[in-house]
Amino acid sequence: MMFKDYVAVVTGASRGIGYTTAKTLAKEGAHVFAIARTIGSLEALDDEIKEAGGEATLVPLDITDYDALDRLGGIIAEKYGKLDILIGNAATLGDITPISHLKPKVWQQLMDVNVTANYRLIRSLDPLLRAADNGRAVFIGSSNVARDPSPYWGGYATSKAALECLVKTYALEVEKSNLKVNIFNPGAIRTAMRARAVPGEDPSSLDTPADLMPLMLKICSPDFKDTGKVVDYRKFKNDENDFFF
Ligand SMILES: NC(=O)c1ccc[n+]([C@@H]2O[C@H](COP(=O)([O-])OP(=O)(O)OC[C@H]3O[C@@H](n4cnc5c(N)ncnc54)[C@H](OP(=O)(O)O)[C@@H]3O)[C@@H](O)[C@H]2O)c1
């Protein structure tokens, strides 16, 4: 088991990439704090983790409940005194529409969930990540819309571009510690979010969250020493010399 005695937080653990990541980390021995709003799906995750002999703490909350994110830091500090792995995965797609048509409420939700919640996680969990021997923080980016703008994707893309700046800045600030901080670009993956974004697409043509896991495990491992990078699944899959974007 790669992560025996590790403590991990995974946001957006109720489905898609977050669900599979939480399950995979728990199977490797980590105690996983699994965050999402959908209690039934978190319970299904818990059942799967228990069946595999792992352990999880379910944290049913809306990630825009920032006070709750502060309290989570306190709870983990009291019980474990450290956090080995943070996966900032939860996100919302908003609406694929011209920027001039994007509703203010949808824009605000994009920024609250995709950007501010990750800042609040960093703020709450930074001392615990630094207290781990080999802390690893991984935030899920986009495919490429954050740096290669596409019409109608402006709300989501802007939030992911902001996330990337936030994460790279944090990586620089902790450079002298053992904590490594990176962005993971999954590309197009067979999930509910992708189906909503590109409804005409044949889902069987897409890779699955499980396909991402070898790279996810690699960047969470103590052997992975890069920091401040955008790690690209498609480059990794294509065996390119380096898999940074
Ligand atoms: N799938 C792709 O093709 C693709 C491509 C590029 C990047 N990504 C990124 O990969 C990550 C995972 O996406 P996915 O495709 O797995 O999406 P998904 O299937 O829609 O899952 C999103 C997860 O985020 C959680 N979430 C959303 N809003 C939340 C809130 N306010 N509070 C708490 N949890 C919340 C959802 O849980 P609840 O609804 O239960 O709260 C769910 O578990 C995202 O950061 C996404 O931007 C995905």
Is it the case that residue 5 has pLDDT exceeding 90?
A: yes
Evaluate the CA torsion angle 12, 42, 58, 180 in order and state its sign. negative
> Is the pLDDT assigned to residue 56 strictly greater than 90?
yes
Is the distance from the beta carbon of residue 64 to the nearest atom of ligand 1 less than 6 Å? yes
Contact between 61 and 11 under an 8 Å Cβ cutoff? The reply is no
- Find the catalytic residue in 6, 19, 119, 156: 156
pTM as predicted = 0.99
Residue to mutate, 38, 116, 191, 216, ligand 1, most ligand atoms under 8 Å from C-beta: 191
Maximum alpha-carbon separation in the chain: 50
Residues 6+ apart with CB under 8 A from 163: 88, 114, 115, 118, 139, 141, 146, 183
Spacing, Cα 10 to ligand 1 middle (Å): 11
Residues 44, 50, 54: CA angle, nearest 5 degrees: 125
Q: Are 36 and 11 in contact (CB under 8 A)?
A: yes
Mutate to test the pocket of ligand 1, among 39, 89, 112, 120 (most ligand atoms within 8 A of CB): 89
80 is catalytic: no
Neighbour tally for 209: CB within 10 Å: 20
What digits encode the pLDDT tens for the residues 84-105? 999 999 999 999 999 999 999 9
pLDDT digits (tens, 9 = 90+) for 101-120: 999 999 999 999 999 999 99
CATH of domain 7-237: 3.40.50.720
Question: Nearest residue CA, atom 25 of ligand 1?
Answer: 12
120 lines ligand 1 (CB under 6 A): no
What pLDDT was estimated at residue 147? 87
Render pLDDT for 178-233 as a digit per residue (tens, 0 to 9): 999 999 999 999 999 999 999 999 999 999 999 999 999 999 999 999 999 999 99
Per-domain residue ranges of the chain: 7-237
Residue among 183, 193, 198, 211 whose CB has most ligand 1 atoms within 8 A, to mutate: 193
Whose C-alpha lies nearest to ligand 1, atom 11? 89
Q: Which DSSP helix (H) or strand (E) runs through 57?
A: strand 55-60
pLDDT digits (tens, 9 = 90+) for 127-171: 999 999 999 999 999 878 888 999 999 999 999 999 999 999 999
161-193 confidence digits (pLDDT tens) = 999 999 999 999 999 999 999 999 999 999 999
Distance CA 174, CA 16 (A): 30
